[in-house]
Amino acid sequence: MSDDENEENFTQKVIDETCRLSEKQRDIIRRTFANMEKDGVKNGLKIFVRLFSEYPRYKLIWPQFRAIPDSSLMNAIELRRHASVYLKGLGKIIESMRNEEELGKQLARIAQAHIKWNVQRNHVIHMIEPVLEVVKETNGYQLDEETRVAWSVLYQVIANLIEVFRNRALHDH
């Protein structure tokens, strides 16, 4: 396969993933994220604390978290900083959902940042439940099936694109 064909194939994979999010799902995500974003750092912290309590070894992915005892995580400045970066990145993805090209760019940026730390597809998939819990808490403790599916699809798309970009990086080297 030529480089042009590879690039076309790659671009098509990105489009195939982003197209999985319907307009209605994008609206649901935007609406529910608006409430989550209001206290972004706190909500980001909740997501990571829940993720680490369910998957303690995930803490090892981040060098800056390794030395922090679990009991101190919630108040650790390193985790607060990461929670802030995480929510801002998620916000940029959600904001860009109105424009397919911009969405592809934001997802590419996020995917490449995660490849560097060897974050795998399943790490992202395992974030779905903690994220859904926080979506529910920040939206009047309501979480209908449509909202659950919309957020799940978003995280599946992010997880799949991490693998698409990882495979591309492996192919390019």
Per the confidence metrics, is the pTM higher than 0.85? yes
159: pLDDT confidence band, cut at 50, 70 and 90?
very high
Neighbour count for residue 172 (Cβ, 10 Å): 8
* Residue whose C-alpha is closest to residue 28's, from 158, 127, 152: 152
Mean pLDDT, the chain, integer: 90
Count CA within 13 A, CB hemisphere, residue 141. Answer: 0
Confidence band of 45 (pLDDT split at 50, 70, 90)? very high
How much of the chain is in helix, strand and coil states, percent to nearest 5?
Answer: 85, 0, 15
What are the C-alpha distances in Å from 172 to residues 7, 14, 108, 164, 165? 11, 17, 15, 12, 10
| Band (143; pLDDT cuts 50, 70, 90) | very high
CATH number at residue 87: 1.10.490.10
Nearest to 43 by CA among 91, 106, 4: 91
Range of the domain at 40: 3-172
What 3-state class would DSSP assign to 37? Answer: helix
Report how far residue 113's alpha carbon sits from residue 161's, in angstroms, rounded to the nearest whole number.
Answer: 12
Question: What pLDDT does 80 receive?
Answer: 95
Distances (CA, A) of 35 to 38, 73, 82, 107, 135: 5, 24, 19, 22, 8
DSSP state of 99: S
Number of domains in the chain: 1
